[in-house]
Structure 1
Amino acid sequence: MASTDNRGTGASRRNGTKTNTDPSTAVVISVAATATGLIALIIALAAGGAVTPQVIPGLPDAGPLTRWGLPVSKNVQDAGAVLTVGLLLLAAFLLPNDKGVPSSQALGYVRAASWTGLAWAAGAGATLVFQLSDTVGQPPFAVIGDQLSSYAGQSTQGIGLTVVILLATAVALFGRTVVTGAGVITLLGIALAGVVPPALTGHSATAGSHELAVTGLALHVLAICLWVGGLAAVTFHALRPGGEHAALAVRRFSRFALWAYIGVAIGGAASAISRLYAVQELYTTPYGRIILVKIVLFGVLGYLGWLHRRSVVPRIGEASGRARFVRVAGGEIVIMAAVVGISVALSRTAPPPPAESEVDPVTAILGFPMPPPIDAQSLLTLWRPDLLFIMLVVCLGGFYAVGVVRLVRRGDRWPWGRSLAWALGLLLLVAAVLSGVGTYAMVLFSTHMLQHMALSMMVPLLLVLGAPATLALRALKPAQRRGDRGPREWLSAFLGSSFSRAVTHPGVAAPLFVLSPYALYFTPLFPALMSDHLGHMLMNVHFLATGFLFYWVIAGVDPGPRKLPYLLRILLLLVTMGMHAFFGIAIMMQTEPLAPEYYAQLEIPWSSSVGEDQYTGGGIAWSIGEIPTLLVTIAMLRQWARDEERTERRRQRHSRRDGSDDADMDAYNAYLQELDRRSRGES
């Protein structure tokens, strides 16, 4: 590591370029960011009233240590998560690699991420203790013991923080031994997964609009970690004497930062909308005023980012441009630290309560009031803004369209049938999740089963026939640096990896597709997932993923690690669909309703019987499987015929080129065809 740094510094001197990278600048930026974050945290806590509550005599009070210790420990937790994600992002994607092998400096950042991951885990552990202390109203040292272990294993917020501690510790441990690019990307995925649980188990899970609150906050914190952490890591690398490929890392992060900025804006707006019930609450409540401060600082950061892209990044290769980048990025980091502190204080500030008329048990369970009796009009008009699937549809449709346009502009052809299948799949996904079908799927078992069948059997099949991986491999540009890996190279490596080979094995893909419904609906897992918006969202994602994997194995045209014979594909399809049809019959034969504790608490006034609705749902599961079976059979027969034609053309070209014995066979076949033609002419 040291020899690399010396070579880089010497190269700069030989080229006559002054890098202006004083290590003390990094210390100044770090101290300024830490101080600014703490000051912003204290001011926001005082403004929101989180540290000056009205203590009622006779009620338990955790004391000032918890009131101040909880936000401070959470700030440490968030800072550790941001730095860990940023360092791993720099090592995985912003610095170049050699055919998937990170450079020595990149591996050094992975080792640094193991230390920040350890600090992240420690901050999460302290947050767990202070959070329990705040919940039960006892001092922190009084809750350590059996009470803490019970809270960590039974409460949703306790379980979320426990998961964070485990994932952060995993990053800290495995970060010491990872040496491959795939390993670094895996660590980055683990770190991003560790950021999400607090957002899914906090106040967002009880907000009025579950679809906006949960997904919006999760997107918000993920984008912030990538944006803030990435900028901090890139700035440190630019300040580091002998930092290799600093200009390249800055250019790559500049393109990435725009998407992160958009993600922060969308997630923050969705989260705010789900908690504020009127526009005036932005300036009449402490919660709204803190949000206004975040909006102003966010606008300032957007201006600095625009300044980066316009005047700093184009001249980043010059010494003056690199020095200006450090100055602007340092200011950004300080403001970002203040925003992180304000966000922690916002999580400790009570949002404005809803009106009394909006509080009812059904709304608390579903996130929306009881819909009217189901009919064609309500299915077409009762749309729900599920942010996760809105983003999924927009991203999948937008990237696919960009890929097709890129191929057409350079003169390549893309089959219109594949584009049509992709568009129909996305439209069906919108109808199944965002329309009235998605609304009534939370209320009626029959509509839920209709949604399940669409998400697991129809939407994945249409998306698979769109050949997205083939389009991406043709549309994405190769990496500019020889030996480096860009999006195209990483996608190609993933398609041929051992992981892809394992999950695309028929013994894995088919059981996941056909056996998971049995494990879901005939166990207590179904009512547990239905009772929580996050659980229902995970069910829908699972349906999509397992269906896509199954159809990609038997009907996909994308390149993959294995290619099954067509007879085996047809046999696998028939066996799987037969078991799926039996699943519908098994539901129809049930004498007791599934998830009675969930549907009983809804008390649907216009539904006659839960049992009859369940019987209808079983009939839908039994009958709807014929449609994808027919479509897959037709698609496989066409693929089989085209594959035989291509094989025959290759054989003929090989015969003509090599002069092998196949040429005699071709001549003999031509002779037989001529005899047949003559005999037909005589008759």
Structure 2
Amino acid sequence: MSTPVARAVPTAPARGASPGAGPRRVLGLVGAAVVAVVVGVWFTGAAVASLVRDAGPWVRWGLPVTETLTELLGAVVVGALVLAVGVLPRRDESAAPRRGARAGAARAEGTAYPATLRVAGWAAGAWTLAAVLHLVLSYASVAGRALTEQSFGDELWLYVSQIEQGRTLGSAVVVAAVVTALALVVRTPTGAAWTLALALVALWQVAQLGHAAGAAGHELATSAMFVHLVGAAVWIGALAALALLVGRLGRDVAPAVARYSVVAGWCVAAVAVSGLVSGWIRLGQWADLGTRYGVLLVVKAALLVVLAGLGLLHRRRTIAALDAAPAPRPGLFWRLVGVELVVMGAVSGVAVALGSSAPPVPDEPPVTPSVAYQVTGHDLPPEPTLVRWFTEWRWDLLMAFAAVAALVVYWRWVRRLARRGDAWPWQRTAAWTVGMVVLFWTTNGGPATYGHVLFSAHMVQHMVLAMVVPIFLVLSAPVTLALRALPVRASTLADDASRGPREWILTLVHSHVGRFLAHPVVAAVNFAGSMVAFYYTGLFEWSLRSSVGHLFMVVHFTAAGYLFANSLVGVDPGPQRLGYPQRLLTLFATMAFHAFFGVALVSGEALLVADWFGLLGRPWGASAIADQQEGGAVAWGIGELPTLALAIAVALSWSRDDDRQARRRDRRTRDEDPELDAYNAMLKSLAD
């Protein structure tokens, strides 16, 4: 096989790279979106004048158009930041050559990397202005007030400061403005990652305003909307940003498009799954597909299928052609992307038209809601039995998608190792599979269903997340597998300082924050102390009343349990592990603290979050305080078996380590015995 050599930078413009081609095609995306939303709103009649307090045609037609522009600009911001975080090649002249670079590999050009941050900054500025206009028109539509009325400004301020919908839209404007400032000043993948996280906060806020916000399926609708928005934003926005930057990519166009293709594949899956769930929530029966709303939903699904097909062709043909081209040829990039952008714009417009139209299933809450519905937002589940713990479901699409995706990724990594002849213990694969299945059930099954209305069930969910799932994660060694299976970025482009998944994992593991959190003492204090801080502060109530708070609880305690277990028996890199006697001492001290926490709950007489658990009006089960005391017994009892398992694992590791040291001493003394030699030397010195 011949060794690849670095290609020279062309001095003439690359074939197919006409100036302004990218912006013109991105305008096609915007134009198709505007046309689609106008046609969709006209088709569903969402812009028909209201009989009472009509805000006027400018508001009726302007609101869906500005919402479309807001979503597209937000998508470009998110997509451009995704490119900066882990897609575009980057040159860092001050850094040492990257380890793992192939001899003779082409060098990264890296000229598009700073430009993508500028694209993100300017798009964020336009996103902020569009979000302001969307806020103003939203209030005008809700209140039925014309923009020219004298008191409109004062009323708008009350809407932003006192009404939940107004506060959400106003906070989205603030987030967009902060993202604008950050995107214009950050220069590194780490800065781009923090800016991207902030932009996703704005998408989460928008997800709160979707259909079914007042219905019993609010949590599922919100998580489905968030997954849908993030998937669509990354898919559409990253492609639009690539279209704007393709003239600057040069020889980096092939690896950039190939990396984007992998990201787009996951986005297709996220958009498809969340779209099916959202459609199921909003359509009461198959016959509703014949309504105007249902017809638009079918059109959107058909366009998504077309997009997925174009993306598959792009992956199979365009990427191979770009790799084989002797010089950069952006014209190959435009073979399908031009059509793709137009179809993406049409999908965005149809989506906004759907959001502006009333679905067949109304969003209104029940006329006579139960006491439990008024407190929790959903009716009480039936009385728990052993069977119902496995048959009752309260779906969280975000966690369900994460668990399934984690399974798929782990299995693919194992298969990649097998294809190149490397072995991976099947026991670790089995441990990961069991851990993800348990995580899926804990966040979507019986513990999630009853954990929202029973403290004891909530404690079951908490203890499984903190003490059962992490043990399976540690036994599966996911970080070790990732470092073996994922490719090094510099193996394809020399001097490429961008970060792929492998580089990001190493960055997190070796960062100051990562090393601090993974330290055995810190991990033990976090594992035990955060439980007290969580339940005896407002964090517990926040996790009950907010989907964000619930997600924080799941992620934090699963991660805390993993870090603690990994410091004791794990093989993944990260912590400077203590000696085995100190590990056992840390384990038993931490578990003793756990036991004291459970005893405090068992003997306590003050009800935690009394205006939640004490007001549900349950016709079955023990009283709220008795159920809380049962929860303390659960915290005490469930912790015993994982503690025993960890203690046995530490003891076995200690024994195996002693055996390894004995074998090393045997090998070292096979030909000579240092201790015997020292003894003989001492006798000789005495005789002399």
TM range (shorter): 0.7 to 0.9
Q: Which amino acid aligns with 1:175?
A: A
Structure 1 residue 245 and structure 2 residue 252: aligned?
yes
Per-residue deviation, 1:142: 6.2
What does residue 516 of structure 2 align with? 502
Is this contact kept in 1: 2:602–2:629, CA < 8 A? yes
Q: Which amino acid aligns with 1:216?
A: A
Q: Which amino acid aligns with 1:55?
A: L
Per-residue deviation, 1:477: 2.8
- Following the alignment from structure 1 to structure 2, what is the Cα–Cα distance between the partners of residues 590 and 332? 61
Per-residue deviation, 1:629: 1.7
- Following the alignment from structure 1 to structure 2, what is the Cα–Cα distance between the partners of residues 143 and 267? 41
Tell me the secondary structure at the aligned position of residue 243 of structure 1.
helix
- Following the alignment from structure 2 to structure 1, what is the Cα–Cα distance between the partners of residues 189 and 280? 39
Matches within 5 A, 1:503-518: 503-506=517-520, 508-518=522-532
- Relative contact order (alpha carbons < 8 A, sep ≥ 6): 1 or 2 greater? 2
Matches within 5 A, 1:65-104: 65-98=58-91, 103-104=110-111
Deviates more, 1:535-544 or 1:494-503: 535-544
Among candidates 388, 393, 406, match of residue 416 of structure 2: 406
Per-residue deviation, 1:463: 1.1
Structure 1 residue 575 and structure 2 residue 589: aligned?
yes
Per-residue deviation, 1:165: 3.0
Q: Which amino acid aligns with 1:482?
A: A
Is this contact kept in 2: 1:91–1:110, CA < 8 A? yes
Tell me the secondary structure at the aligned position of residue 597 of structure 2.
helix
Q: Which amino acid aligns with 2:10?
A: A
Summarize deviations over 1:83-141 as a string: whole Å, max 9, x none.
11222222332222347979343012112211111222222233333333433444457
- Following the alignment from structure 1 to structure 2, what is the Cα–Cα distance between the partners of residues 374 and 494? 41
Among candidates 336, 347, 354, match of residue 346 of structure 1: 354
Is this contact kept in 2: 1:200–1:534, CA < 8 A? no
Among candidates 476, 480, 487, match of residue 477 of structure 1: 487
- Following the alignment from structure 1 to structure 2, what is the Cα–Cα distance between the partners of residues 587 and 127? 49
Per-residue deviation, 1:227: 0.7
What does residue 311 of structure 2 align with? 305
What does residue 370 of structure 1 align with? 380
Percentage identity across paired residues of the two chains: 37
Give the alignment's Cα RMSD to 1 decimal. Answer: 3.4
Q: Which amino acid aligns with 1:298?
A: L
Among candidates 590, 597, 616, match of residue 604 of structure 2: 590
Per-residue deviation, 1:61: 4.5
What does residue 635 of structure 1 align with? 649
What does residue 676 of structure 1 align with? none
- Following the alignment from structure 2 to structure 1, what is the Cα–Cα distance between the partners of residues 663 and 237? 54
Summarize deviations over 1:502-559 as a string: whole Å, max 9, x none.
3324565344332333333334443443234554344333332332233333433211
User: Taking structure 2 as the reference length, what is the TM-score of the superposition?
Assistant: 0.85
Q: Which amino acid aligns with 2:508?
A: F
Per-residue deviation, 1:620: 0.9
Summarize deviations over 1:32-81 as a string: whole Å, max 9, x none.
3222221212222222333214222xxx5444443334323322321221
Q: Which amino acid aligns with 1:290?
A: L
- Following the alignment from structure 1 to structure 2, what is the Cα–Cα distance between the partners of residues 443 and 69? 43
- Following the alignment from structure 1 to structure 2, what is the Cα–Cα distance between the partners of residues 499 and 508? 11
- Following the alignment from structure 2 to structure 1, what is the Cα–Cα distance between the partners of residues 248 and 396? 47
Is this contact kept in 1: 2:321–2:332, CA < 8 A? no
Structure 1 residue 11 and structure 2 residue 10: aligned?
yes
Is this contact kept in 2: 1:217–1:271, CA < 8 A? yes
Tell me the secondary structure at the aligned position of residue 454 of structure 1.
helix
Among candidates 18, 25, 29, match of residue 21 of structure 2: 25
Among candidates 189, 203, 206, match of residue 195 of structure 1: 203
What does residue 235 of structure 1 align with? 243
- Following the alignment from structure 2 to structure 1, what is the Cα–Cα distance between the partners of residues 63 and 576? 52
Deviates more, 1:20-29 or 1:65-74: 65-74
Matches within 5 A, 1:249-268: 249-268=256-275
Unaligned runs of 5+ in 1: 1-7, 672-683
Is this contact kept in 2: 1:527–1:597, CA < 8 A? no
Q: Which amino acid aligns with 1:481?
A: L
Is this contact kept in 2: 1:129–1:143, CA < 8 A? no
Summarize deviations over 1:275-304 as a string: whole Å, max 9, x none.
2111111222x3222212211221221232
Is this contact kept in 1: 2:215–2:363, CA < 8 A? no
Summarize deviations over 1:539-595 as a string: whole Å, max 9, x none.
333332332233333433211153344444333333322222222222223324322
Per-residue deviation, 1:628: 1.9
How many residues end up aligned between the 2 structures?
653
Is this contact kept in 2: 1:121–1:168, CA < 8 A? yes
Matches within 5 A, 1:294-333: 294-317=300-323, 318=325, 322-333=330-341
Is this contact kept in 1: 2:431–2:476, CA < 8 A? yes
Among candidates 533, 553, 564, match of residue 519 of structure 1: 533
What does residue 296 of structure 2 align with? 290
Distance 1:88 1:524, change over 3 A: closer
User: Taking structure 1 as the reference length, what is the TM-score of the superposition?
Assistant: 0.86
Tell me the secondary structure at the aligned position of residue 438 of structure 2.
helix
Distance 1:242 1:404, change over 3 A: closer
Summarize deviations over 1:132-167 as a string: whole Å, max 9, x none.
343344445767767655544554434433443343
- Following the alignment from structure 1 to structure 2, what is the Cα–Cα distance between the partners of residues 18 and 521? 61
Per-residue deviation, 1:608: 4.2
- Following the alignment from structure 1 to structure 2, what is the Cα–Cα distance between the partners of residues 587 and 333? 57
Structure 1 residue 118 and structure 2 residue 125: aligned?
yes
Is this contact kept in 2: 1:207–1:274, CA < 8 A? no
What does residue 419 of structure 1 align with? 429
Distance 1:641 1:596, change over 3 A: same
What does residue 567 of structure 2 align with? 553
Per-residue deviation, 1:355: 10
Distance 1:136 1:355, change over 3 A: closer
